[in-house]
Amino acid sequence: MGKIKNPDAKATVGNPVCGDILTLYIKVKNGIIRGIKFETLGCAAAIAVSSVITQMAKGKTLEEAKKINPQKIVKELGGLPPIKMHCTQLGAEALRKAIENYQKKTL
């Protein structure tokens, strides 16, 4: 967790219903996510999702990381209570947006 100095891209997403906010920072080299960190303001489930997203995405190509979805996140976590499932969407969205932001900068 934490910030990456001079990230190649970042994304901030939030859920207005519950108030969770996730900022994801990525460093990319040769199309592979080499560094990834997060800052999350939210519940324990949102923090757990943020953490597992970083573990799942690090070392993956951008295309592989884009395929990380809420179902894969839940499986990696070993489940979540139904009321906390929206946190997985927040994590997947932050990762996708950070990758999109990186790709826009490099085109």
78-95 residue pLDDT tens:
999 999 999 999 999 999
User: What percent of the chain lies above the pLDDT cut of 90?
Assistant: 92
Classify residue 33 as left (phi > 0), alpha (psi -120 to 50) or beta: beta
Which residue of the set 36, 87, 92, 95 is catalytic? 87
Question: What residues contact 91, with CB distance under 8 A and at least 6 apart?
Answer: 22, 46, 49, 50, 52, 53, 70, 73
Is 87 noted as a catalytic residue in this protein? yes
Answer yes or no: is pLDDT of 17 > 80.
no
pTM metric for this prediction: 0.93
CATH class, 9-102 region: alpha beta
Is 43 noted as a catalytic residue in this protein? no
Which residue of the set 4, 18, 77, 85 is catalytic? 18
